[in-house]
Amino acid sequence: MPTLPPATKALMLICTALFFLEQLVPFGSLLALWPLGSGLFWPWQVVTYAFLHGSLTHLLFNMLGLWMFGSELERVWGQRRYLMFLLAGVLAAAAAQLLFTQLTRSPAPTVGASGGLYALLLAYGML
């Protein structure tokens, strides 16, 4: 079994550490992606929301996807291209979510790496 590439490993460790830290010290409201105009939205949230997860199951399935698809893409593309693509996926998902919450007037915040992972899944399928 090949070793876990460094960027994928770091992302998995950061997400896991933040999940358990957030259980002790609730800071998710600062990092979750809040709807525009909610009074809780901050620009950094378009990136930070992807590092938070709502439950252990949410975290485990997102990390499984990151391991399965991210590892191979990092090996094939290299670290820089992989991270830039993942960032683009996270930002695109944030933009879509912000638009959706504006249209539906949903007051709920968004957390999770799923948007970025769907971008990785698409790229993996096109290899």
Domain ranges of the chain: 6-125
Do the Cβ atoms of 109 and 101 come closer than 8 Å? no
Q: What is the pLDDT of residues 98-124, one digit of tens each?
A: 999 999 999 999 999 999 999 999 999
Residue count (the chain): 127
Residue type, 73: L
Whether the predicted pLDDT of 37 surpasses 80:
yes
Q: How confident is the model at residue 1 (pLDDT cuts 50, 70, 90)?
A: low
| Of 123, 114, 111, the residue nearest 48 (C-alpha) | 111
CATH number belonging to domain 6-125: 1.20.1540.10
Q: Residue 107: how many CB atoms within 10 A of its CB? A: 10
The pTM of this model reads: 0.94
Tell me how far apart the alpha carbons of residues 9 and 26 are, in angstroms, rounded to a whole number: 24
